[in-house]
């Protein structure tokens, strides 16, 4: 077809397409090759398991579809995942019924013919009566080819016109050759030796029936692989009870706008992301975070779309609607990730690119060898062997081996609150041998409190100044100081005006000016840098640090004014989670900006293998590099913001957070709950997924490595046995079904921490 000139925008964007007419890994390779040649196209990820393509490009969607059409296939854009999933389910259901009907048609004729032959009925032509009878059978078989196998021949013709070859090519050549040879025997038996007048109408009908049956069963098995995305889509709410002008209106969730007030009654799903204005309740967030315990929510707390309201009725203000909600972002991220391929798939891609043409060449060579060197009647052996090679060698199993397991693995991770960005992160997570942990908010609870305080000055406005200095900061230590200052400040010590010259010094603290006074608040490094004498606090600071307190100093001008001991206890499950890392064979390293004594106390309590303290963000980055230089595969667990450089440098970055507070786009893998068990769960799921992929690839390679030589007649000199094309058809169908069934075992995998 003649294509229009490409029209592209300045910026790249992601386009997701549903592919039509794709039947095997060869088709995928053809489309991928065509799209990759387009200018301003950064990446093309095609998932053979669900027949979708995710393209990062500056090209317009219409031009992408035209490109796919130009190589013999079709596509349409996916704009709404929910709608697309429903259409896919409906389409698969219709296709399943159609293939089952075609299977009945083929097997309905093929089985009686095969039984007739097995019971001793002659399958050749020697008399006029036999010629007439078999002519009728041949015409019936042709009708079967037309009714039940037409799509194979149409697909093969399209591939041929576009100078490609795919699974349809192999099936069309195999069944077409068997039928055509049989018709030549029926019409012109006198021109063939008597021993070469064997008929293969039963093989033609059986192969068409069996392959349709196999594809129907494969289709049904594949349908179960997308259950994870369907579960996420089912969390979306269709309507919301919106309060406008004092009236409660039931509106479609698409009509809700930011700022709307929404009432959510007991037992209902929350329709949008918002903030609770009235009432209190217990919210079940397990569908998003994987955290089984419900969370208490009251006025001022945030809630997320898709979570379930418990007993109380609440009124919330909509803050994020439509595609901006956390749930919508998760659905988009999981859907996109399921389209990606782990690096292990490259070998399968390279093989499938040349597979079908190679099989056709092997089939021709097989035919020539049998014709020239085989026993008499050589024509019969040639047809059987060449047809069997074509039929048994379908590359479907190879094409399904990786994407179907990837889809299930990434979906399974989402069930446990882990959002894996792509297939590469999935594979790398299974290869980790070192896990690096940030301290604050990762090993510890991330909710520090001031547990010790000592003043070295008679000034009464010290706590007032600290509150003024730290206001607006959302750093956990700053929040602890503000909370303490607010509760213990001297109400009579008025602080007028505001601070100026505020400066945040990374890894040290803050400094500012208040009137004529210079204010310093931070760690020991900051005090030393400004020549503050700390001798009076040394013994006290050392004692507090030994008790796992972070010591913070406050100085005005050149004098130390106060000392704070801030405690951030380790998470209740941190020690158990770190023990799981050890069971998984991981070396656990803690990196922190905190002081040496505090870090040591936390490290001993949590039982990490190594720790390094008093580190700046750049120092954490350097430590990651050092560990990688030892040949280790490193995973870094942090908050996704302060640890951004280290997360980016690590082989796999885990952004760990609490529910909706987590930044979804900040790392290779994002944990929607704050527990380190989530990291261990994802590593376990990744390992199970990669093991499953390797089983599938091994099975697919072994199947083709053994199946093709056996079909070609490798065992004939030893056993006198030649594989029937019917058996080849059964084997081909079973190979795909086996791969899909094995992949579906992942749906029942549960990480050990959840097996209690």
Tell me the helix, strand and coil percentages in the chain, rounded to 5: 55, 20, 25
Give the range with max mean pLDDT: 30-34, 114-118, 138-142, 733-737: 138-142
How confident is the model over 267-274, as a mean pLDDT?
A: 90
User: What HEC string does 632-680 produce?
Assistant: CCEEEEECCCCCHHHHHHCCEEEEECCHHHCCCCCCCEEECCCCCHHHH
CB under 8 Å to 13, separation ≥6 — which residues?
Answer: 56, 57, 58
User: Tell me, what's the pLDDT at 553?
Assistant: 94
How confident is the model over 202-213, as a mean pLDDT?
A: 87
User: Tell me, what's the pLDDT at 474?
Assistant: 61
User: Tell me, what's the pLDDT at 596?
Assistant: 84
* Residue 271 and residue 243 in contact, taking contact as beta carbons nearer than 8 Å: no
Q: Across all residues in the chain, what is the average pLDDT?
A: 84
Is the pLDDT at 756 greater than 50? The verdict is: no
* Residue 702 and residue 179 in contact, taking contact as beta carbons nearer than 8 Å: no
Cα atoms in the 13 Å half-sphere on the side-chain side of 203: 28
Lowest mean pLDDT, pick from 58-72, 465-479, 695-709: 465-479
Is the pLDDT at 455 greater than 70? The verdict is: yes
Terminal C-alpha separation, the chain: 60
User: Tell me, what's the pLDDT at 7?
Assistant: 54
Is the pLDDT at 443 greater than 80? The verdict is: yes
Express each pLDDT in 477-499 by its tens digit.
888 898 898 888 887 777 777 78
Is the pLDDT at 583 greater than 90? The verdict is: yes
Q: Is the peptide bond before 377 cis (omega within 30 degrees of 0)?
A: yes
* Residue 64 and residue 78 in contact, taking contact as beta carbons nearer than 8 Å: no
Beta strands in 235-293 (DSSP E): 239-244, 247-252, 261-264, 273-278, 281-284
Q: Would you please indicate which residues are annotated as catalytic (active-site) residues?
A: 438
Give the range with max mean pLDDT: 141-150, 193-202, 394-403, 406-415: 141-150
Lowest mean pLDDT, pick from 104-108, 146-150, 341-345, 563-567: 341-345
User: Tell me, what's the pLDDT at 435?
Assistant: 95
User: Tell me, what's the pLDDT at 473?
Assistant: 65
Strand partners, 14: 56
pLDDT-derived band at 607, boundaries 50, 70, 90 = very high
Question: Can you tell me the distance from the alpha carbon of 412 to that of 686, in angstroms, rounded to the nearest whole number?
Answer: 10
pLDDT-derived band at 590, boundaries 50, 70, 90 = very high
User: For the chain, what percent of residues have pLDDT higher than 70?
Assistant: 93
Question: Can you tell me the distance from the alpha carbon of 376 to that of 441, in angstroms, rounded to the nearest whole number?
Answer: 79
User: For the chain, what percent of residues have pLDDT higher than 90?
Assistant: 22
Distances (CA, A) of 405 to 22, 88, 592, 687, 696: 19, 19, 37, 12, 9
Give 707 or 644, the one with higher predicted confidence: 707
């Amino acid at each position: 077809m003649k294509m229009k000139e490409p029209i592209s925008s300045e910026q790249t964007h992601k386009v997701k397409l549903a592919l039509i007419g794709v039947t095997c890994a060869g088709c995928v390779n053809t489309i991928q090759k065509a799209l990759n040649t387009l200018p301003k196209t950064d990446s093309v990820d095609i998932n053979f398991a669900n027949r979708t393509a995710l393209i990062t490009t500056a090209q317009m969607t219409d031009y992408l579809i035209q490109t796919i059409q130009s190589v013999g296939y079709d596509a349409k854009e996916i704009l709404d995942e929910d709608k697309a999933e429903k259409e896919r389910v409906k389409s698969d259901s219709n296709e399943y019924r159609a293939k089952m009907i075609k299977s009945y048609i083929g097997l309905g004729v093929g089985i009686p013919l095969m039984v007739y032959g097995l019971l001793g009925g002659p399958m050749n032509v020697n008399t006029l009566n036999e010629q007439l009878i078999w002519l009728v059978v041949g015409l019936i078989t042709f009708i079967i080819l037309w009714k039940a196998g037409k799509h194979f021949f149409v697909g093969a013709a399209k591939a041929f016109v576009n100078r490609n070859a795919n699974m349809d090519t192999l099936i069309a050549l195999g069944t077409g050759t068997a039928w055509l040879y049989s018709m030549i025997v029926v019409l012109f038996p006198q021109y063939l030796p008597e021993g070469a007048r064997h008929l293969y109408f039963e093989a033609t009908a059986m192969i068409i029936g069996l392959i349709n049956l196999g594809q129907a069963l494969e289709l049904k098995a594949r349908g179960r692989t997308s259950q994870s995305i369907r579960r996420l889509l089912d969390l979306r709410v269709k309507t919301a009870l919106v309060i406008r002008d004092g009236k409660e209106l039931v509106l479609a969730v698409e009509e809700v706008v930011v700022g709307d007030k929404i009432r959510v009654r007991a037992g209902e799903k929350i329709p949008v992301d918002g903030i609770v204005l009235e009432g209190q309740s217990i919210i079940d967030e397990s569908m998003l975070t994987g955290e089984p315990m419900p969370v208490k929510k009251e006025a001022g707390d945030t809630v997320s779309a898709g979570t379930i309201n418990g007993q109380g009725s609440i009124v919330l203000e909509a803050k994020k609607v439509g595609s901006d909600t956390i749930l919508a972002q998760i659905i988009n991220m999981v859907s996109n990730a399921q389209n990606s391929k782990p690096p292990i798939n490259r070998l399968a891609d390279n093989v499938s690119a040349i597979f079908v043409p190679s099989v056709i060449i092997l089939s021709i060579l097989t035919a020539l060898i049998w014709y020239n060197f085989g026993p008499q009647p050589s024509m019969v052996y040639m047809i059987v062997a060449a047809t069997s090679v074509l039929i048994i060698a379908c590359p479907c199993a190879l094409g399904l081996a990786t994407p179907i397991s990837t889809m299930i693995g990434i979906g399974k991770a989402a069930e446990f609150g882990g959002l894996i960005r792509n297939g590469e992160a999935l594979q790398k997570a299974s290869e980790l041998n070192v896990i690096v942990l940030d301290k604050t908010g990762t090993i510890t609870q991330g909710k520090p409190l001031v547990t010790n305080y000592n003043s070295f000055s008679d000034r009464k406005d010290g706590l007032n100044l600290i509150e003024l200095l730290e206001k607006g900061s959302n750093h956990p230590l700053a929040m602890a100081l503000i909370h303490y200052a607010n509760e213990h400040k001297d109400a009579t010590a008025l602080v007028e005006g505001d601070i100026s010259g505020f400066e945040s010094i990374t890894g040290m603290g803050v400094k500012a000016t208040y009137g004529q006074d210079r204010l310093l608040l931070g760690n020991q490094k900051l005090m030393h840098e400004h020549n503050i004498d700390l001798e009076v606090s040394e013994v006290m600071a050392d004692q507090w640090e030994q008790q796992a307190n972070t010591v913070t100093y406050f100085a005005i001008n050149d004098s130390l004014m106060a000392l704070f001991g801030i405690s951030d206890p380790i998470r209740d499950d941190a020690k158990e989670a770190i023990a799981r890392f050890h069971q998984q064979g991981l070396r656990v390293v803690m990196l922190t900006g905190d002081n040496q004594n505090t870090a040591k106390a936390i490290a001993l309590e949590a039982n990490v293998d190594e720790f390094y303290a008093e580190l700046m963000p750049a120092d954490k980055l350097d430590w990651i590099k050092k560990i990688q230089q030892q040949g280790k595969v490193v995973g870094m667990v942090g908050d996704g913001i302060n640890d951004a450089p280290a997360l980016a440098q690590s082989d796999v970055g885990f952004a760990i957070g609490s529910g909706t507070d987590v930044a979804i786009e900040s790392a290779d893998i994002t944990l929607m709950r704050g527990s380190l068990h989530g990291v261990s769960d994802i590593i376990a799921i990744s390992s199970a997924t990669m093991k499953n992929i390797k089983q599938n690839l091994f099975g697919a390679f072994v199947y083709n490595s053994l199946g093709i030589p056996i079909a070609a007649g490798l065992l004939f000199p030893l056993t006198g046995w030649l594989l029937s094309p019917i058996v080849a058809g059964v084997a081909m169908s079973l190979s795909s079904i086996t791969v899909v069934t094995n992949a579906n075992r992942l749906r029942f995998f549960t990480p050990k921490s959840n097996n209690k």
